[in-house]
């Protein structure tokens, strides 16, 4: 399992550098940037002390959709609670969830928004799950790099379990993506009313299923799809 940290529209060079240090110190190496400020500036390099390889190897995208195109499971981070999406997973729960996914996922994205406004509603809609850091006081909110550090620290625990790091050949590629696509297609084929709250709740449940349930529901969705085609 590879965990990619995605920063969308980061506007402060120093934060990008600090994020690199957070990622590096917790054992991760993949940073993706969506329309960033000058991430190779002197300020970014100073705060990325000891982590210049992550900074210099960061992959830049023009849109979040492009940055998530090869991702099996994407998790949006936000401090704002929005209507229509009721499941907000803590960093600890995200870590546990990824361990339960086992070999059904290979590439995971933890997505962070800009320092000022966070992720937009549209960007959150591109992600599979929503996560929020429980805070004793909601204001002031955490700095971008602080948030990255908290998630990186929590997710670093996965590497010690041995469950979430199967050999590459053991990963059943595409299972998680296929489940989401097949399930939503079956709902459309059955003319289930496309209510945002219903679809969002369903996506939340599908994305939080463990490895065995993921494969079971995928098999069921494929069976229903086959029966519908042959009616």
The residues pairing with 114 across neighbouring beta strands, listed in sequence order, are: 118
Distance of CA 158 to the CA centre of its chain: 15
Please report, in tens digits, the pLDDT of each residue of the chain (231 residues total): 899 999 999 999 999 999 999 999 999 999 999 999 999 999 999 999 999 999 999 999 999 999 999 999 999 999 876 655 567 889 999 999 898 887 788 899 999 999 988 999 899 989 989 999 988 876 767 899 999 999 999 999 885 443 334 444 444 556 777 777 777 777 777 777 766 666 667 777 777 777 777 778 778 877 787 777 777
DSSP SS3 for 20: helix
User: Tokens 């960033």 identify what position?
Assistant: 36
Please, what is the angle between helix 91-101 and helix 211-229, to 10°?
Answer: 70
Domains and CATH numbers, the chain: 2-168 (3.40.1280.10), 174-229 (no CATH)
CA angle 1, 85, 163 (to 5 degrees): 20
Report pTM: 0.78
């Amino acid at each position: 399992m590879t965990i990619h940290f995605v920063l969308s529209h980061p506007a402060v060079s120093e934060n990008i550098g600090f994020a690199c240090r957070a990622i590096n110190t917790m054992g991760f190496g993949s940073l993706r940037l969506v329309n960033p400020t000058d991430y190779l500036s002197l300020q970014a390099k100073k705060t990325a002390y000891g982590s210049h390889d992550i900074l210099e190897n960061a992959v830049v995208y023009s849109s979040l959709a492009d940055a998530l195109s090869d991702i099996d499971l994407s998790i949006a981070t936000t401090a704002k609670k929005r209507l229509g999406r009721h499941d907000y997973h803590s960093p600890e729960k995200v870590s546990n969830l990824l361990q339960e996914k086992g070999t059904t996922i290979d590439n995971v994205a933890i997505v962070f928004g800009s320092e000022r406004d966070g992720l937009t509603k549209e960007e959150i809609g591109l992600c599979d799950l929503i996560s929020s850091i429980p805070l004793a006081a909601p204001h002031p909110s955490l700095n971008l790099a602080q948030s990255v550090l908290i998630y990186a620290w929590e997710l670093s625990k996965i590497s010690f379990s041995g469950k979430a790091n199967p050999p590459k050949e053991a990963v059943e590629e595409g299972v998680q993506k296929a489940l989401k696509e097949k399930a939503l297609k079956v709902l459309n084929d059955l003319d289930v009313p496309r209510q945002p709250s219903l679809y969002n709740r369903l996506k939340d449940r599908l994305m939080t299923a463990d490895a065995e349930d993921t494969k079971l529901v995928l098999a069921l969705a494929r069976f229903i799809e086959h029966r519908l085609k042959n009616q």
